[in-house]
Amino acid sequence: MAGASTDGFDVHANLDIRAVLAQVKQVDPMLARALRKRLRQSGDQSIKKMRDILAEPSKGLVTNVIRGEGQDARGYNRRHLAVAVETTGGRGRSKGTRQAISKGIKIAVRTGAKPSTQGIRLTSSAPSVAPMARSYNKLRWRHPMIHNPSVTSPTWVMQAGAPYFGKVVTDDVALIRENVLAAIDEAITQIGT
């Protein structure tokens, strides 16, 4: 099951990963290292999809919000949910924010004492751009446009984002879980031989 948080997603495999890694390490430490590496690689396809979305050109400013029925981020049905936006198109220049967000996407193997703190964790938290990473992951977001330093109150604009994180992970949860279980099964098979 994938659990949402403000900065990442957890993918749980419904087994005690900590115990499995400890048993594998007792038998063969090199195999335990290889298993941990395979677990980290289980989300590589999702990370590539996220980076591909972030590599697309910026969509620009929002000119119209198209509303419809659907589910919000928490899974509640909504009638007037923003389902799409019409935009002006990007400017064609970038300051590297999307590239920094892309570099900040990471995967970690969590082996906490409790099963609820175990699993694979995908995060997008480059420290320098963490607030932007959260904003850009939305369909649209507001920000001040500071174009003239002599102006004391900036103009606020609505910019189109690119939901790159949550949708990709929720679509790939089954694949990530399958990769985790395959890696563990392979390690257990190697122990048995």
Residue-wise pLDDT for 22-34, tens only, equals: 888 888 888 888 8
Closest CA to 32 of 107, 106, 111: 111
pLDDT score, position 94: 66
Distances (CA, A) of 136 to 56, 133, 142: 13, 5, 10
Q: What pLDDT score does 11 carry? A: 63
pTM of the model: 0.69
- For CA atoms 166, 158, 103, 131, the dihedral sign is negative
Low pLDDT (below 70) residues in the chain: 1-14, 73, 80-87, 89-94, 125-126, 146-151, 193
Q: What is the pLDDT of residue 58?
A: 76
Closest C-alpha to 139, from 169, 157, 159, 112:
159
